[in-house]
Amino acid sequence: MEYNLIDIASVIRSKNSGPYELTFDIIFKDIDMYKRAKEARAINGKMFAALYEIDENDIISLVYFDPAKAVKITIVRPIPSGALGETDVYGAQQHAPLMKMKLTL
């Protein structure tokens, strides 16, 4: 069955992790849905790279974190925070594409 991520997640956010990395957190509403997503690796590097149109090698880590029912994806920041060309110094508004994501579980 296909789900909108926005319907099954309680938190979808992005933020700097230091000036050179951008990190995305997806916290699921309930543990069963989280476990299903984890088991199916429904959120994975290939899919994330396609969503943001980035090289999969720029994904530093993608971790399923059971204590928070969460998936965390950390990538190389396309430019360091505050460098010329910056549009989001804190990296706090880079999550929007995830809100349109669909998962098949």
Partner 1 sequence: MKEMRILSPTAILGYGFPMDSFKEGMKRKPHVIAVDAGSTDPGPYYLGAGKSFTDKNSVKRDLAIMIPAAIEAGIPVIIGTAGGSGGRPHVDLTLEIVREIAKEQTLTFKLAVIQSEFDKEFVKENLRKGYISPLFPAKEITEDDVEESVRIVAQMGEEPFIKALEGGADVILAGRSYDPSVFSALAIKEGFDKGLAIHLGKILECAAIAALPGSGSDCMFGYLREDGFVLEPLSPQRRCTTLSVAAHTLYEKTNPYILPGPGGAINLHESSFNQITDNMVEVKGSKFVPTEEYFVKLEGVRRVGYRTISCAAAKDPVMISQIDKIVESVKERVRNNFEHYGIKDFFLDFKIYGKNGVMAMFPNLEQQVAHELMIIIEAVAPTQDQADTICGFARSTMLHYGYEGRISTAGNLAFPFSPSDCKVGEVFEFNVYHLMKVDNPADLFPIDYIQFTKGC
Binding site for partner 1 (CB under 8 A): 11, 15-21, 23, 25, 27, 52-54, 60-61, 63, 65, 67-70, 72, 74, 76-90, 93-94, 96-97
Residue of 41, 61, 57 lying closest to 49 (CA atoms): 57
Residue 25, φ and ψ in degrees, nearest 5: -115, 135
> In the complex with partner 1, which residue's Cβ is closer, 42 or 74?
74
Give the nearest distance from C-beta 101 to partner 1 in angstroms: 13
> In the complex with partner 1, which residue's Cβ is closer, 1 or 8?
8
Q: Do residues 5 and 26 touch, judged by C-beta distance below 8 A?
A: yes
